[in-house]
Amino acid sequence: MKTHDDIRAFWEHRLGADWTETGVGYRALGRPFNLWMYRVRWEAFLREAGALELDRPNTRVLDVGSGTGFYVRGWQHLGVGSVTGCDLTEAAVENLRERFPDAKFMRLDIAEPGDAIEPAGYDAASCMDVLFHIVDDERYKAALASIAAAVRPGGYFVLSENFLHRPVQRGDHQVNRTLEWITAELDRVGFEVQRRVPMLVLMNAQVDAGPVWRKLWGGTLRAATLTNPTGWLAGAALYPLERRLVRSRRESPTTELMICRRREDSAG
């Protein structure tokens, strides 16, 4: 298994070389396709995060694994009072500080944040497409505990994950865990799940589908995105269908967005 230092070096190199939607997204499909994919993500995030019962001008948000700042921008678009972002890599933090001068950014490992994060200091936290890159289960649990400690009782946690109904899938840089396991760990640290909705349906790897469809659709996407022009056309063609599917389906074979709330009786 890769060590924690190996994993950090991997992401430091990847984001240092490609600080774009491709660097943090589905790299094999190229940037033009990823840009269309992130349009769908943007709409889903704004719809769900925008429905939270928050006094937005006075809301403090912690964004974990900020990457390129895509969801930092989303929170700012919603008009929250302040956003604090953090990332494992120095490459991301340096760029984020330049891109978002009105936000605060910290270089830290959310599984071992030390005293960098104010306890119960945030009304909401987000962790988007990050947790499945924590390949060690104990570090994943520690990350959830750190996020829970940062969110005030009654506050919200917005996350995206691959909530599998199938057995866990383990790789060097990504582990797709089961819905049952993830929700149990969320409950353990004091979060109640309020809802879970598709964030993508067809525009990502079909990790929770059967092996035949998963390989067939994955091959189709990679073939359609071999060049930047064909990737742009594939994204443009799928985009209107994807928007409808995300809104109409209750579950997805790929990335889903979950809204949790920290229990009022959670220990500080």
* Low-confidence stretches of the chain (pLDDT beneath 50): 268
Q: Which pLDDT score, from 0 to 100, does residue 1 have?
A: 55
What is the tens place of the pLDDT at every residue in 84-121?
Answer: 999 998 888 999 999 999 999 999 999 999 999 999 99
Cβ proximity of 217 and 202 under 8 Å: yes
Q: Read off the amino acid at residue 26.
A: Y
Helices 30-49, 70-77: axis angle to 10 degrees equals 40
Distance CA 249, CA 236 (A): 20
Within 8 A by CB and 6+ apart from 169, the residues are: 175, 176, 207
Could you tell me if residue 196 is left (phi over 0), alpha (psi between -120 and 50 degrees) or otherwise beta? beta
What letter does residue 172 receive in the DSSP assignment? S
Enter the pTM of the model.
0.91
What is the tens place of the pLDDT at every residue in 118-153?
Answer: 999 999 999 999 999 999 999 999 999 999 999 999
Helix boundaries (H) for the chain = 4-17, 21-24, 30-49, 70-77, 90-99, 137-150, 179-188, 211-224, 228-248
Q: Which pLDDT score, from 0 to 100, does residue 22 have?
A: 54
Give the strand order in the sheet containing 82-87: 104-107, 82-87, 60-64, 122-128, 151-161, 256-262, 191-198
Query: Which top CATH class is 4-262?
Result: alpha beta
Instruction: Tell me the three state secondary structure of residue 170.
Output: strand
